[in-house]
């Protein structure tokens, strides 16, 4: 595979047709571009499929282009037609290529007359990689089935035939039918008072990339959290979620005060069942969130501030390729920290920044050299593999460095101008740098050299002078951890009664990779970590307990792995288990029970962990 070539630094926005095609998409935007999607969908829980009609509005770039090429994955295509101005349909010839493991099936539609609209009638597969279908037993309330999408990185093609590349933006409207008493929501403006009559309509007037196309359907209740925000969740969850996220309106106002108006109208949150594979997904107007961040004390609501921040960085301005994904995640993580600081104090924001920085320092040296770069050289990895801690944590660290060098006042003004300048566009790293150079680096000379900027973006590792915030509480925890491991402080004398989630995370993160079993047993006896309802703490605790050989923790670890499908909180336990033959056998037993409740992405990652472990040991 290849990635987008480096653009000249002096270049600002190139026309889409002048940019190279995305290596993770069959689309040919230099020939034709989809500008609007009209969807008509039927949610069929019985057959675990969406029956769809997708009508694509087209902007033909090449007057001699012979065809429209779209991305699909496991779609059943029933017919393809051209629509004239009056809506009259004329059948078009098409060819659906055999499925590529990474890219899916290339759909080539012969269209030499360049119709303005093309209509495709299709149905999804029950195994669509971008959809999960849950039985009532797999939901919180166990009363109705549930379905939700996860289109990032390149899974939208598994439920809609389209140009599945972040470089291509389109508006959309949709009509969706579902069984009565089922609520349907999408990444568009949602009506909290919509009757559950099985008939829903949506409109997204802002151009978005395909990975932000989203849908969910189930027994979903709604509770308002402000004049332009609400929480959607299963009835037994919605009250707790609304309490946890009651500061949403303040988050929106805080971000607006820093970076300009929120341009999407409403900001709602859908709390999904625990099988959702990510912490949150920044679908426009409707963030999809994991229930694992609901812990009762708002200590993990930074996930919400992160997804809200995407309304500026990622959704408003989008990385044009998966190679440039740090433009989405690094800038968003920086903005998340600023929202957290404004609402919950500098101490918490600094703790979260330190947690991510220390974790990155520990891991980045183990990565391939090219993977350590914010903007890597062409490397032929899958789109899903482009998302890494480097994009999030090195990216945000770079922005904190810029803030320190140029001062918060100047940097805030620059970032606001960046959001305004590139609003509703997809850009590359090089286009971002072409804006950064005259508007910050050269505007305030002598504060940071261009070579330093390039070292952050194109260099390996982390620059030696990278600034770190100071945290007196973390410093105290470092000393307590040292004393505990040395035996001069017993577990029940740790000053941990007042530790927040982040402080427990920090204490556990910096224990030895294989801590002494006796020490861990003392910790558990004093602080009852086995069985914790806090999934962040649980993931770290069980990983240490498994590594140390504490079989007494295995059943609770299995319960955690079965209950939670979020990749970040589950796969570290599988990774810890597979390091021994007995652990591998146990993990396979757990997975056999948990698999049906996991998202397809989670299944894929866990099975990859097993395969890698067996390759090392020579197992079957």
CATH 3.30.2010.30 positions along the chain are: 220-311
CATH 2.60.40.1730 positions along the chain are: 23-218
CA torsion, ordered 525, 527, 532, 537, to nearest 10 deg: -120
Other beta carbons within 10 Å of 247: 20
**Minimal CA–CA distance to 565: which of 574, 576, 556, 555?**
574
Q: Is the peptide bond before 153 cis (omega within 30 degrees of 0)?
A: yes
**Minimal CA–CA distance to 563: which of 537, 590, 529, 587?**
590
**Tokens found for residue 116:** 């303005």
Please state the φ and ψ torsions of residue 310, each to the nearest 5 degrees: -60, -20
Looking at residue 11, its pLDDT comes to 31
Segment 240-261, tens digit of pLDDT: 999 999 999 999 999 999 999 9
User: 514-617: which CATH topology?
Assistant: 1.25.40
Residue 12 has pLDDT above 90, yes or no: no
Residue 384, class by beta-carbon neighbours within 10 Å (0-12 exposed, 13-18 middle, 19+ buried)?
middle
**3-state secondary structure string across 355-395:** HHHHHHHHHHHHCCHHHHCCCCCCCCCCHHHHCCHHHHHHH
Share of the chain above pLDDT 70, in %: 96
Looking at residue 16, its pLDDT comes to 41
**Minimal CA–CA distance to 399: which of 522, 492, 312?**
312
Task: Yes or no: say if 314 and 281 are a contact pair by the CB < 8 Å rule.
Answer: no
Average pLDDT taken over every residue of the chain:
94
Just give the CATH number of 23-218. Answer: 2.60.40.1730
- Residue 289 host element (H or E): strand 286-289
Residue 620 has pLDDT above 90, yes or no: no
Segment 160-218, tens digit of pLDDT: 999 999 999 999 999 999 999 999 999 999 999 999 999 999 999 999 999 999 999 99
Residue 14 has pLDDT above 60, yes or no: no
Looking at residue 387, its pLDDT comes to 83
181: left (phi over 0), alpha (psi -120 to 50) or beta: left
Residue 6 has pLDDT above 60, yes or no: no
The class that CATH gives domain 220-311 is: alpha beta
Q: For residues 160 and 124, what is the distance between their CA atoms, to the nearest angstrom? A: 8
Looking at residue 523, its pLDDT comes to 98
Segment 290-303, tens digit of pLDDT: 999 999 999 999 99
- What is the pLDDT averaged over residues 525-538? 97
Q: Fill in the DSSP letter of residue 93.
A: -
CATH 1.10.390.10 positions along the chain are: 321-458
- What is the pLDDT averaged over residues 361-379? 94
Q: For residues 290 and 355, what is the distance between their CA atoms, to the nearest angstrom? A: 20
**Tokens found for residue 191:** 């009506």
Residue showing tokens 């890219």: 103
Residue showing tokens 């146990």: 586
Segment 450-492, tens digit of pLDDT: 999 999 999 999 999 999 999 999 999 999 999 999 999 999 9
Segment 98-138, tens digit of pLDDT: 999 999 999 999 999 999 999 999 999 999 999 999 999 99
Beta bridge partners of 317: 313, 425
Catalytic residues: 307, 392
**Taking the chain, what is the end-to-end CA distance rounded to the nearest angstrom?**
30
Contacts of 276 (CB under 8 A, 6+ apart): 148, 150, 288, 289, 290, 291, 565, 566, 599
Share of the chain above pLDDT 90, in %: 94
Contacts of 25 (CB under 8 A, 6+ apart): 71, 103, 154, 163, 164, 165
- What is the pLDDT averaged over residues 382-393? 89
Q: For residues 502 and 566, what is the distance between their CA atoms, to the nearest angstrom? A: 18
Task: Yes or no: say if 310 and 297 are a contact pair by the CB < 8 Å rule.
Answer: no
Residue 284 banded pLDDT, cuts 50, 70, 90: very high
Task: Yes or no: say if 525 and 545 are a contact pair by the CB < 8 Å rule.
Answer: no
Looking at residue 4, its pLDDT comes to 26
How far is Cα of residue 367 from the mean position of the Cα atoms in its chain? 21
Just give the CATH number of 321-458. Answer: 1.10.390.10
């Amino acid at each position: 595979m290849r990635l987008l070539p480096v653009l000249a630094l002096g270049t600002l926005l190139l026309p889409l047709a002048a940019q190279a095609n995305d290596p993770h998409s069959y689309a040919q935007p230099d020939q034709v571009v989809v500008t609007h999607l009209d969807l008509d969908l039927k949610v069929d829980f019985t057959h675990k499929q969406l029956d769809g009609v997708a009508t694509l509005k087209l902007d033909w770039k090449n007057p001699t282009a012979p065809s429209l090429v779209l991305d699909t994955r496991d779609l059943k295509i029933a017919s393809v037609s051209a629509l004239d101005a009056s809506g009259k349909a004329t059948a078009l010839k098409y060819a659906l290529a055999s499925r590529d493991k990474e890219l899916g099936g290339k759909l080539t539609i012969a269209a030499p007359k360049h119709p303005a609209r093309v209509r495709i009638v299709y149905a999804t597969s029950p195994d669509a990689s971008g959809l999960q279908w849950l039985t009532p037993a797999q939901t919180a309330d166990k009363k109705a089935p549930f379905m939700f999408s996860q289109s990032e990185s390149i899974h939208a093609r598994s439920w809609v035939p389209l140009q599945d590349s972040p470089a291509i933006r389109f508006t959309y409207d949709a009509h969706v039918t579902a069984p009565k008493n089922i609520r349907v929501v999408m990444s568009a403006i949602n009506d909290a008072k919509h009757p559950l009559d099985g008939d829903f309509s949506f409109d997204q007037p802002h151009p978005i990339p395909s990975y932000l196309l989203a849908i969910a359907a189930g027994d979903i209740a709604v509770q308002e959290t402000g004049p332009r925000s609400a929480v959607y969740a299963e009835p037994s969850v919605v009250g707790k979620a609304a309490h946890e996220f009651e500061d949403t309106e303040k988050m929106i106002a805080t971000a607006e005060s820093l970076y300009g108006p929120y341009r999407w109208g409403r900001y709602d949150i859908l709390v999904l069942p625990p099988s959702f594979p990510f912490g949150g997904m920044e679908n426009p107007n409707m963030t999809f969130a994991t229930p694992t961040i609901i812990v009762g004390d708002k200590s993990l609501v930074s996930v919400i501030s992160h997804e809200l921040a995407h309304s500026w960085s990622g959704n408003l301005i989008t990385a044009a390729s998966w190679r440039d994904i740090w433009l989405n995640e690094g800038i968003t993580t920086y903005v998340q920290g600023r929202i957290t600081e404004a609402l919950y104090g500098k101490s918490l924001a600094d703790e979260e920044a330190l947690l991510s920085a220390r974790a990155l320092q520990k891991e980045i040296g183990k990565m391939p050299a090219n993977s350590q770069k914010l903007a890597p050289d062409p490397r032929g990895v899958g789109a899903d593999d482009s998302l890494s801690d480097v994009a999030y944590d090195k990216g945000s660290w770079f922005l904190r460095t810029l803030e320190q060098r140029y001062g918060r006042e100047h940097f805030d003004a620059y970032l606001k101008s960046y959001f305004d300048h590139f609003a509703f566009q997809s850009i590359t790293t090089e286009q971002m740098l072409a804006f950064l150079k005259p508007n910050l680096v050269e505007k305030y000379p002598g504060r940071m050299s261009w070579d330093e900027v390039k070292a952050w973006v194109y260099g390996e590792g982390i620059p030696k002078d990278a600034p770190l915030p100071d945290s007196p509480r973390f410093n105290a925890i470092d000393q307590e951890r040292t004393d505990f491991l040395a035996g001069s402080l017993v577990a029940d004398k740790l000053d941990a009664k007042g530790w927040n989630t982040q402080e427990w995370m920090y204490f556990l993160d910096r224990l030895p990779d294989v801590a002494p079993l006796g020490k861990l047993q003392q910790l558990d006896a004093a602080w009852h970590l086995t069985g914790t309802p806090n999934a962040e703490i649980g993931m770290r605790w069980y990983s240490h307990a498994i590594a140390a050989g504490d079989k007494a923790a295995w059943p609770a670890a299995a319960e955690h792995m079965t209950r939670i499908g979020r990749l970040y909180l589950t796969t570290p336990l599988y990774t810890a288990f597979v390091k021994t033959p007995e652990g591998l056998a146990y993990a396979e037993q757990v997975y056999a029970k948990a698999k049906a409740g996991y998202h397809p992405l989670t299944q894929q990652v866990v099975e990859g962990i097993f395969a890698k472990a067996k390759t090392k040991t020579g197992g079957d």
